[in-house]
Structure 1
Amino acid sequence: MASLFTPGSTDCCRLLDAGAGVGSLSSAFLDRWVSGDLTFNRVELDAFEIDQTLHSALAQTLTNYQQHPNFCPTIHPNDFIHAAADWLSGNLFATALPQYTHAILNPPYKKIRSDSPHRLALRRAGVETVNLYSAFVALALALLGDGGQLVAIIPRSFCNGPYYRPFRQLVLGQAAIHHIHLFESRTQAFKDDAVLQENIIIRLERGGSQGPVSVSTSTDDTFADLVTHQYPFGQIVLPGDLEQFIHVPTSPDNDVLTTAMAVQHSLAQLGLKVSTGPVVDFRVKPYLRAMPETNTVPLIYPMHCVDGGVVWPIPNAKKPNAIQRHVDTDKWLYASGFYCVVRRFSAKEERRRVMACVIDPATFGNAAMLGFENHLNVFHVNRAGLPRPLAYGLALFLNTTAIDDHFRRFNGHTQVNATDLRLIKYPSLAMLTRLGEWAIAQPKLTQTTIDRQFEAEMA
């Protein structure tokens, strides 16, 4: 992280380390300065750390640099969000903060409740975001002067999804992205934490001119297999993308789906919808049944999706197989028919991120309605089923390696949201139908045959 800062002409470095911990990041930065790699005459450090049990270790870390006459550290024991937000919002009682030239951050990661003091303080400072890590980055960026550099290690979740849209707009509106480093394994770099998503290191320049972006990757924190490539900014944030998703390509190979003329249709143009499964089981617990009974309908969970199809019912399963029809449950049910569903969550190191399967009504006998549990995304036509070939064609398309590679460029966590699926471009209805008719005729589908047939259709 410290190595990503580029030397500049600044005589005095004003360094911000928010969430400083025991001072590891500040120490790495100061090591570069002491070695002469960063040519400041003076470094003034503001280290914010709210956990007082870490202060003695933090002070000891900084003591190692006290022999340098032009090093001036200050440890702030107060809450960085409140301190920064108060100053930025013009609070007359706020402690004055300087205009920083550099910021290095390993911020805390925790959701911010909509009614919390942190959320209210952030709004006063003009920041709208949902997690402490993005709040720290937004405030630090606001405290930088023009040309100021920020390097942070943060979860990748801000790169896509509606909740982080305001944060993405803030970052892209105020700064240039110069470097992104991706840890490709969710488990290796942060073995001591329950990491459910990929983490990145990002370098931003406040008010900088946006040019090509360097993207480096490594499996873990040893950096033994470090690889770096440069990409035009148009491959990081696609032109015309209103959501401003941030893509992180891991190979200079072209993203086939971004430029393919055969894959340019939105779901709305196809007359299709995708929704999160409406049945939230704990809310309808009295109506759940372990196995089908009189006056029940099938309830489909991710566990029922096996090898592109459905196995139902599953005796002795941990989850119920059916839900009772009732005035309180009918509003959550879909008409029986063919559907394409995608699991919302994948396991940590699962081979595929996007996994689709076809719901065939013949599996469920004469059931008039179907229940889709909340951990599935459902493709439908106004809560009704799809033509059979279309359901199979959608599933085949979503199970291609091309889709999985495309999805991984902007989604680095275990969740596949309906919003993400809604924003992907799709082939035409005619092409999806042809793919479905081919899939139906196959005795068995493999990843190789799926990819080969899709490539043939694209040719």
Structure 2
Amino acid sequence: MARLFSSPRRHLRILDAGAGIGILSAAICDRVLTLPVPRSLHLVLFETDARVLPLLDENLRRCRDALRQAGHELSYSIEQTDFVLANRPACGQETLFEDPREHVEFDAAIMNPPYFKLNKQSAHARAFECIIRGQPNIYALFMATAAAMLRPGGELVAITPRSFCSGLYFRGFRRWFLQRMALRYIHLFDSRTDAFRGADVLQESLVTRFDKASPDGKTIRFSTSHGADLQGAHDVVEYRSSWIIDDTGGDLVIRIPAARIDARIMKVVDSWPARFAEHGLQISTGPVVTFRATRYLLSTADHPDGVPLIFPHNVHPFDTRWPVRKNGKPLALRSCPDSEKFLLPTRNYVLLRRFSARKHVVCEIARLSALGIVVTQHDKLPDIVLHWSDRNWLFLIEAVTTHGPVSPERHREIETMLRSCPAERIYVTAFLNMGAFRRYAGDIACETEEWIADNPDQMVHLNEPKFLGPYKRH
């Protein structure tokens, strides 16, 4: 993250809000150590957790000693106070601060702010009521406060959830923030579990860099990495900021193409001649959040005041099946004056079901059995099994985002599962991008073809006699 900043000035004031034990500030010091010209740094760190303050101070003293030995200078101050409330805003002002004359500007800010929702009546939410609505998340308030504390041209690098990029709750924040800050860089993580192993991170996170400047139409760079090491970033691409920051619907969303194929899909959708709303179509999530409607939930389908409650498991291709009992989920909602806000009027709807490979696996046991495949645990099957009945070929497609590639060991495992299946096999490993392919290249079995989503018209073939055809089983 420290390397995302542009070349540092000779004299720098740097803000680290939610500093913890000072890891991000230490990373900036580490970068300064690589610079030949002496630098003078002053760090201002905000941290309220008294348990980590001794370690934070110790780490900063070590940084100061290391910089001095290399000919640089470091001073710092630790503020044990609430970062947001200590710099609370004055709504309607160009600056966030009640008295801009008391505001000391920073050249850069780096942060890993806390992530939690705020009660809309909390002091933090009330302080930002001009730019937020509903239940905001504290991390957005950290970003807004830091932005106000930067000098013109100052830079902000932060690791946060990606939820601020879209949605109604963050719309006011985005509009306020993006009027003052120009987005320059987004780094994405291929794997949330690998990037934050052991940290119990529930949201998808990203690293962003913003400059304090008005929107200028420049490009935004994107990169990805599998783990937490940004130095291993791959697949760096650039897109026009006017294409990424989209205000055509009035919501000013930040669109995030995680791979080149996503960008191609976005361009196809952008080419459509009209928006859904122009055809009289409205899209929304259902109004029922079960934990907020517990008093109206019914476990039977024949209650006289009950109306159907539709879950994803009720939605099938071109068909809706109800009632279906599953895992103790309620079947209906009691209709009464108090529950009206949870009900939809009777009219025509198209139901769309979000799906994931884990929650909504399509596993046609009967068809697999007819092929001689005995399924005892569907997670051991490849991600996709396709049967070409005319030739009696099986296409076995594995995505590296789940099991990894078809390695020699994985190939033997699948062959053991298919020992009673007479169909010939074609193995395909699907990669998101070239970076993922290079990372797993040494683990791929020679019997598999490689398909890469970023270049979907091409296939990679290893050193075997067959291309996209079955190998004879021995």
**Is this a same-fold pair by TM over 0.5?**
yes
Confirm or deny that 1:80 pairs with 2:93. Answer: no
Determine helix, strand or coil for the equivalent of 1:53.
Answer: coil
Task: Report what 2:5 is aligned to.
Answer: 5
> Taking structure 1 as reference, are residues 252 and 277 closer, same or farther at Cα in structure 2, changes over 3 Å only?
closer
1:135, 1:277 → 2: CA distance? 29
> Taking structure 1 as reference, are residues 350 and 232 closer, same or farther at Cα in structure 2, changes over 3 Å only?
farther
Q: Would you say the 8 A contact 1:108–1:132 is kept in 2?
A: yes
2:5, 2:359 → 1: CA distance? 34
* Range with bigger deviation, 99-108 or 236-245: 236-245
Write out aligned runs for 1:129-208 (5 A): 130-207=136-213
Task: Report what 1:265 is aligned to.
Answer: 274
1:351, 1:232 → 2: CA distance? 36
1:16, 1:237 → 2: CA distance? 26
Shift of 1:257: 4.6
Shift of 1:60: 1.0
Task: Report what 2:246 is aligned to.
Answer: 238
1:316, 1:175 → 2: CA distance? 48
Task: Report what 1:255 is aligned to.
Answer: 264
1:42, 1:255 → 2: CA distance? 46
Shift of 1:340: 1.5
Confirm or deny that 1:299 pairs with 2:298. Answer: no
Q: Would you say the 8 A contact 1:178–1:214 is kept in 2?
A: yes
What is the one-letter code of the residue matched to 2:209?
Answer: R
Task: Report what 1:15 is aligned to.
Answer: 14
Q: Would you say the 8 A contact 1:292–1:298 is kept in 2?
A: no
Task: Report what 2:379 is aligned to.
Answer: none
What is the one-letter code of the residue matched to 1:72?
Answer: S
Superimposed CA distance per residue, residues 16-65 of structure 1 (whole angstroms, 9 cap, x where no aligned partner): 0000000000000011112216x563101101101011001101110112
Q: Would you say the 8 A contact 1:22–1:57 is kept in 2?
A: yes
Equivalent of 1:213, from 220, 242, 250? 220
Determine helix, strand or coil for the equivalent of 2:81.
Answer: coil
> Taking structure 1 as reference, are residues 96 and 21 closer, same or farther at Cα in structure 2, changes over 3 Å only?
farther
Write out aligned runs for 1:13-412 (5 A): 13-36=12-35, 39=37, 41-67=39-65, 68=68, 70-85=73-88, 96=102, 98-123=104-129, 127-128=131-132, 130-207=136-213, 209-223=216-230, 224=232, 226-238=234-246, 240-253=248-261, 254-259=263-268, 263-279=272-288, 281=290, 283=293, 285=295, 288-293=298-303, 296-307=306-317, 309-315=319-325, 317-324=327-334, 333-334=343-344, 339-343=349-353
What is the one-letter code of the residue matched to 1:214?
Answer: R
> Taking structure 1 as reference, are residues 6 and 348 closer, same or farther at Cα in structure 2, changes over 3 Å only?
farther
Q: Would you say the 8 A contact 2:2–2:28 is kept in 1?
A: yes
Q: Which runs of 5+ in 2 are unaligned?
A: 362-474
* Range with bigger deviation, 239-248 or 274-283: 274-283
Determine helix, strand or coil for the equivalent of 1:292.
Answer: coil
Shift of 1:271: 2.0
Q: Would you say the 8 A contact 2:87–2:97 is kept in 1?
A: no
Superimposed CA distance per residue, residues 88-145 of structure 1 (whole angstroms, 9 cap, x where no aligned partner): 66557x995521001110001111222111123335xx65462211111111111000
Shift of 1:292: 2.9
Determine helix, strand or coil for the equivalent of 1:340.
Answer: coil
Percent identity over paired residues: 31
Task: Report what 1:401 is aligned to.
Answer: none
TM-score w.r.t. length of structure 1: 0.67
What is the one-letter code of the residue matched to 1:226?
Answer: H
Aligned pair count?
Answer: 347
Larger radius of gyration: 2
Determine helix, strand or coil for the equivalent of 1:162.
Answer: coil
> Taking structure 1 as reference, are residues 304 and 55 closer, same or farther at Cα in structure 2, changes over 3 Å only?
same
> Taking structure 1 as reference, are residues 342 and 96 closer, same or farther at Cα in structure 2, changes over 3 Å only?
same
TM-score w.r.t. length of structure 2: 0.65
Higher relative contact order (CA 8 A, sep 6+): 1
1:80, 1:314 → 2: CA distance? 50
What is the one-letter code of the residue matched to 1:213?
Answer: I
